[in-house]
């Protein structure tokens, strides 16, 4: 006897986000919709959500236009569309006010999205109650996602009980969301069976990334134990950090006796060809080749496929800075694989001490960034935990919900030593309504709110990216970057060459004035332009005490990390100004790097005599931010 029919969902949005940085443009998404429909095998297609909004804005395009044009053909064909949203964070990396969350569901339904897959990265069920309610009120199907991982805390019973909680809070469907693909087939089968036995009529959908290689076997176990829909990818973006391929899952389910709609292979090949065309257009420049491979090293760390594209870019940037430091200190350079392995090992160390947050956006970024900073600082001989960004502190302190497990004693002590206060209330209460604020700003700029207030939503969710989109800055930045990437690549010089040049022309000197030692940076008139760009500002930057003829000794506060410099974290904060008195340990600025905000504190007390960095501009490690005259 044949088993029940299994539905398939093509996660076309997630395929791209798991592979690289950018998404296809609206006109490209509109072109691919037809062949996907003609394939005839999909019950659902994931069209938007997650990082889709920010990525489109960064590419110089309004994401609302892309969503409307992509979803319309599927609705007309009777194929359900679904999005991914982050609960308390909505579609952003940080918590969103309730009025913004409400508008999001209303807008996305009107744009053509049928199903809202809502997840909380801490699996803190109360954070999703509003998502389920607001989705249903807007006319959408509310799907609750269990963020899957492997730890002593995340047991089979843990997930079955979590499904109970989400359904009680209003979820109409359940998704097993295995963002790193590290769940084991047996456990997935037992979890699915447990949910099905308790909730006979609930729809269960299975989603997993392919990275460590478990996902196909897990999909089969989910289907055998009661799952209704399996998420799949397709070539040329399946496997690797993406998802198991449609054709593989289709053949596997058929062989096991399930009813699965046939695949129109002519339409499949057309969709495959178009996707490759988009890659060749420009999107392939932002897809790291390593992301196309399976990687069992991720079994231990559990880092998700969806962030591997940004992870490899972050790793490369940090490696460049780290190797520059190693060269200055006459130590051998590290390879990317060396640093990647250090990162994986540090993630395994960090996770239990942070209370086992599941590694899904935004907490995967928090843990990865903290682990990377720890790894780099340990290499430099500094202490672990010496740099924790503000977003991670919010997670630690309970400002985004309750962690699955207790924090380690060392983290609790560190919080106490820094005067941090733990929060035990409803996280939503910390983020007051803000639509009126953004509407007023748009009025002042003469900007229209957009159809169904969709542009107001974008501005409230992604203010900086929306401003860069409106000004044309984002489109110009992408085009400028593409010009660089399309230039013929010059082969790298042998490792010995830059060392020899550095030795002949020192970049830093230690000088002594009245028994005081000072470290100064040096630039040369005959430096090539690229070199001058790389050392922007270092001819006047001192990372040790700074000498000023009129005022005596000054102290310099320097950037601990490369990124975008911010004088304030939000509009309500007062920036540090020249002549302000500041105290040791005070936060004087912020640096946005790797999607999180890092506070910059000073070790010195005194009067601010100069602010060298500019708000909103890029800053490099060891660049001077401000100088202080001790008092």
What are 554's strand-pairing partners? 546
What integer pLDDT is reported at residue 528 of this predicted model?
45
pTM of the model: 0.81
What would you report as the CA-atom Rg of the chain, rounded to the nearest whole angstrom? 26
Q: Are 341 and 379 in contact (CB under 8 A)?
A: no
| H or E stretch at 58 | helix 52-58
Q: Give, in degrees to the nearest 5, the angle at Cα 137 between 133 and 142.
A: 55
* Domains assigned to the chain: 7-288 (3.20.20.70), 298-430 (no CATH), 435-486 (no CATH), 500-629 (2.40.50.100)
DSSP one-letter string for 512-523: EETTEEEEEE--
pLDDT value for 132:
98
Residues in the chain, pLDDT under 70: 1-2, 305-313, 489-553, 570-572, 594-596
Which pLDDT score, from 0 to 100, does residue 312 have?
A: 67
Q: What is the pLDDT of residue 320?
A: 83
Confidence at residue 490, expressed as pLDDT on a 0 to 100 scale: 61
Show the tokens assigned to 216: 């196909």
Residue 146 in contact with residue 174, Cβ under 8 Å?
yes
Phi/psi at 151 (nearest 5 deg)? Answer: -165, 170
Q: How far, in Å, CA of 518 to CA of 81, rounded?
A: 62
Question: Which pLDDT score, from 0 to 100, does residue 507 have?
Answer: 46
Q: Which phi and psi angles does 37 have, rounded to 5°?
A: -65, -45
Beta strands in 539-593 (DSSP E): 546-548, 552-558, 563-566, 581-582, 587-593
235, HSE (Cβ side, Cα atoms, 13 Å) = 10
* Spatial contact of 631 and 581, defined as CB atoms under 8 Å apart: yes
Given a contact cutoff of 8 angstroms between Cβ atoms, the answer to whether 135 and 385 are in contact is no
């Amino acid at each position: 006897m044949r088993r029940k029919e299994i539905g398939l969902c093509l996660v076309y949005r997630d395929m791209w986000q798991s592979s690289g940085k950018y998404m296809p443009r609206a006109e490209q998404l509109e072109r691919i919709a037809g062949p996907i429909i003609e394939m005839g095998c999909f019950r659902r297609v994931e069209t938007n959500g997650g990082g889709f909004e920010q990525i489109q804005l960064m590419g110089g395009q309004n994401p609302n236009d892309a969503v409307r044009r992509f979803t319309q053909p599927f609705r007309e064909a009777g194929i359900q569309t679904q999005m991914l949203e982050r609960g308390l964070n909505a579609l952003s990396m940080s918590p969103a006010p309730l009025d913004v969350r409400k508008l999001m569901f209303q807008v996305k339904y009107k744009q053509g999205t049928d199903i809202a897959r809502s997840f909380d990265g801490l699996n803190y069920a109360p954070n999703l109650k509003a998502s389920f309610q607001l989705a249903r009120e807007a006319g959408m199907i509310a799907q609750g996602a269990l963020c899957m991982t492997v730890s002593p805390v995340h047991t089979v019973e843990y997930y079955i009980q979590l499904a109970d909680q989400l359904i009680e809070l209003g979820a109409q469907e359940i998704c097993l969301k295995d963002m790193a693909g590290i769940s084991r087939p047996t456990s997935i089968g037992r979890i699915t069976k447990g949910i099905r036995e308790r909730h006979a009529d609930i729809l269960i959908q299975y989603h997993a990334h392919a990275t460590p290689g478990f996902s196909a076997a897990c999909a089969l176990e989910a289907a055998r134990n009661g799952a209704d829909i399996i998420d799949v990818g397709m070539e040329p973006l399946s496997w690797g950090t993406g998802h198991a391929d449609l054709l593989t899952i289709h053949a596997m389910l058929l062989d096991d006796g399930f009813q699965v709609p046939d695949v129109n292979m002519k339409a499949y090949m057309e969709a495959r060809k178009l996707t490759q065309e988009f890659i060749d257009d420009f999107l392939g420049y932002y897809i790291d080749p390593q992301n196309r491979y399976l990687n069992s090293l991720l079994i231990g760390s559990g880092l998700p496929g969806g962030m591997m594209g940004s992870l490899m870019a972050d790793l490369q940037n940090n490696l460049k800075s780290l190797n520059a430091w190693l060269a200055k200190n006459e130590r051998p350079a590290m390879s990317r694989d060396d640093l990647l392995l250090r990162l994986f090992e540090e993630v395994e160390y960090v996770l239990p001490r942070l209370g086992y947050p599941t590694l899904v956006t935004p907490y995967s970024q928090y843990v990865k960034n903290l682990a990377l900073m720890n790894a780099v600082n340990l290499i430099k001989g500094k202490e672990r935990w010496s740099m924790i960004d503000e977003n991670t502190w919010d997670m630690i302190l309970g400002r985004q919900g309750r962690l699955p497990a207790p924090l380690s004693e060392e983290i609790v002590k560190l919080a106490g030593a820094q005067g941090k206060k733990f929060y035990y209330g409803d996280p939503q209460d910390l983020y007051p309504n803000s639509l009126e604020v953004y509407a007023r700003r748009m009025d002042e700029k003469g900007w229209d709110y957009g159809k169904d207030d969709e542009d107001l939503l974008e501005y409230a969710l992604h203010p900086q990216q929306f401003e860069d989109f409106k000004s044309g800055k984002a489109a110009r930045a992408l085009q400028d970057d593409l010009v660089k990437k399309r230039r013929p690549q010059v082969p790298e010089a042998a490792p010995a060459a830059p060392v020899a040049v550095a030795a002949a022309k020192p970049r830093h000197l230690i000088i002594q004035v009245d028994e005081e030692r000072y470290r100064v940076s040096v630039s040369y008139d005959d430096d090539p332009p690229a070199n001058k760009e790389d050392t922007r500002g270092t001819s006047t930057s001192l990372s040790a005490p700074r000498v000023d003829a009129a005022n005596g000794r000054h102290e310099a506060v320097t950037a601990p990390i490369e990124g975008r410099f911010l004088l304030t974290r939000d509009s309500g904060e007062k920036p540090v100004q020249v002549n302000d008195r500041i105290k040791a340990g005070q936060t004087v600025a912020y640096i946005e790097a790797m999607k999180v905000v890092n506070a910059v504190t000073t070790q010195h007390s005194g009067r601010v005599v100069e602010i060298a960095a500019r708000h909103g501009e890029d800053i490099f490690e060891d660049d001077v931010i401000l100088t202080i005259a001790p008092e």
